[in-house]
Amino acid sequence: MTGAMGVALITGGGTGVGAATAELLARRGWSVAINYSRSADAAKSTAEICRRHGVRSIVLQGDVSKDEDCRRVVAATVEQFGGIDLLVNSAGTMQVTKFSDLALQNADEIQRVYGVNVIGPYQMGRAAQPYLAASGRGAIVNISSISGETGSGSSIAYVLSKGALNTLTVAFSRLFAPSIRVNAVVPGMIDTEWFTGNGVETETFAGMRQRFLEASALGRISSAQEIAGAVVYVGVDATAMTGQSLTIDAGFLLGKPPLPSK
């Protein structure tokens, strides 16, 4: 490998958790391939930040819902760096609808969301598998969501996709063992532009944010950097961990501590 520490391929690596993960890995000496679909300027900016840490970083456009793009992105990464040690499936999309209005949850929208959130990680994992296996320490980290556990979120399509991604994580961990570890990081709400960038109105997002703050045990929201720390831990440091989903949600699923009894 040309990376002093390793080579990482990050889908959706130009913004949010993907970008934070790329920078954290670069700080640790990893070479980073940053895939993006639409955010070219953000991806180039993230790559430049990575290079300032003295590592190599490339930018690769590709839509993970398209198998030919997945294969091309993986091949370009291997051509540039000689292999892949870590695949982070951070690319994601959502449908924003009134959750109870099932008339808006049509098959086309569900398939569109599935294409990026489930089929994308499947195709990326399939394309990268031979190179990750050859690494000797290959790992995949899928970025999921607590929506896949709670059954609530921005839409039925999104909830279904994240539940399926959690199942894919377990299936791949069995299929790719013992040469590749496969895990998921499961965030709650993150303080990024993810929601507003996917069509949630600013006022609506502010209400969602406040409700999350009030419900979480820690009374706060995770940053992209905190989620990235979990991604790097699971993908690099937790060498005996596979088939697991690590929840980082500021205690949202836990809820507020009960009042002490009198």
More confident site: 240 or 99? 240
- Whole-prediction pTM value? 0.91
pLDDT for residue 2 is more than 70: no
Q: Is the pLDDT of residue 184 over 50?
A: yes
Q: What are phi and psi of 140, to 5 degrees?
A: -125, 135
- Kindly name the residue from 36, 122, 131, 158 that is annotated as catalytic: 158
pLDDT at residue 260 above 60? no
HSE of 54 in the Cβ direction (CA atoms, 13 Å)? 5
* pLDDT of res. 100: 72
Q: Identify the helix (H) or strand (E) that includes residue 111.
A: helix 107-114
Phi, psi of 144 (to 5 degrees): -105, -145
Q: Is the pLDDT of residue 201 over 70?
A: no
- Alpha carbons 194 and 240: distance in angstroms, whole number: 32
Residues 13-49: pLDDT tens digits? 999 999 999 999 999 999 999 999 999 999 999 999 9
158 catalytically annotated = yes
Q: What is the pLDDT of residue 156?
A: 86
Average pLDDT of span 221-225? 94
- The pLDDT value given to residue 257: 63
pLDDT recorded at residue 1: 42
| pLDDT, greater one: 139 or 208 | 139
61 and 41 in contact (C-beta within 8 Å)?
no
Tokens standing for 131?
């190179």
Please enumerate, as own/partner, the contacts of 117-120 that have beta carbons within 8 Å and a separation of 24 or more. 117/92, 117/93, 117/158, 117/161, 117/162, 117/164, 117/165, 118/161, 118/164, 118/165, 118/168, 119/64, 119/65, 120/11, 120/64, 120/65, 120/70, 120/89, 120/91
180-187: strand order across its sheet: 57-61, 31-36, 7-11, 86-89, 138-143, 180-187, 245-248
Structure tokens at 162: 């994240």
Report, as an integer, the average pLDDT of 87-96: 90
Both tokens of residue 88? 């982070």
Q: Domains in the chain, ordered, with CATH?
A: 7-190+223-248 (3.40.50.720)
Higher per-residue confidence, 206 vs 14 = 14
pLDDT digits (tens, 9 = 90+) for 107-136: 888 899 999 999 999 999 999 999 999 999
Residues contacting residue 211 through CB under 8 Å, at least 6 positions apart: none
**Mean model confidence pLDDT for the chain:** 90
Token pair for 237: 């440091």
Torsion of CA 228, 232, 234, 239, to 10 degrees: -170
pLDDT in tens, 47-72: 999 999 999 999 999 999 999 999 99
Residue 198 phi/psi, 5-degree rounding, is -110, 25
Is the distance from CB of 44 to CB of 217 less than 8 angstroms?
no
The arithmetic mean of pLDDT across residues 179-184, rounded, is 98
